Amino acid sequence: MKRITTMILILIAAILSLSAQENKWEFDAKIGVNIGGTSPIPLPEEIRNIESYSPQFAPTIEATATRWISGRWGISSGLRAEKRAMSTHAQVKNYRTEIIGEGGNKLRGNWTGDVHTSCDNLYLTIPVQAVYRLNKSFYFSGGLFFSYLLDGSFDGYVNDGYLRKDNPTGDKIVFDKENRGTYDFSDEINSFSWGVQAAAHWNTSDRVKLSAQLAWGINELFNSDFKTISFSMYPIYLNIAAGYRF
């Protein structure tokens, strides 16, 4: 994260070296947090109940340049380093997965019971947006984002249930509350992520601004050839940020 922060600070310095005196250009830097999760949409029948959900600390830092084309319309882009992180506990039935038993052997099949999942991914993101200025204090933006995975994990454990080996009618392997089977699909995370985003911005003063932005991933979390989990998962995150206009 320190290297990414340094890159964005260099970008901020670079855009400040441009002719920011022209009213047509506007530059800002923001820090914030992502709140949300990575989820199948809609929830599949295998997931019977969400027992708990916890957003993890997911900071963001961003530098943005906006080119105003007219009095109200503009386009913007920039660079954002961001974490997308969460943890969940769900009850599932016939959930296809692959777990690692106590002896280190891998077991693939259909799980019924509790699933505990942690997802923690670091991305470098480029947003491309249209901007509409409502008045001096408020403006809105919307468009696409393109992200590259720098580091990621998707892992967890199952317990208090049973695995039907290979298929829904296979041999039954029982795990009690104290007997866990772990899983780790971190190597299967797609290195490229893209989607849509929309935001509202409030200029609280000539220099300080607040932003709320919703980003919704279009391509799924895992690589297309990953079939262990039978449904697709997508990142959906709300970003709350404070920024400074140069």
Give the pLDDT of residue 9: 58
According to DSSP, residue 17 is labeled T
Q: Round to whole Å and give the CA distance between 188 and 154.
A: 9
> How many Å apart are CA 33 and CA 59, to the nearest integer?
4
What is the share, in percent, of the chain residues with pLDDT greater than 90?
Answer: 71
| Structure tokens belonging to residue 86 | 């969460």
pLDDT beyond 60 at 5: no
Q: Where do the domains of the chain lie, and which CATH numbers do they carry?
A: 2-245 (2.40.160.20)
- Asked if residues 241 and 211 have their Cβ atoms less than 8 Å apart, the reply is yes
Total-model pTM: 0.86
**Tens of pLDDT, residues 90-104:** 999 999 999 886 667
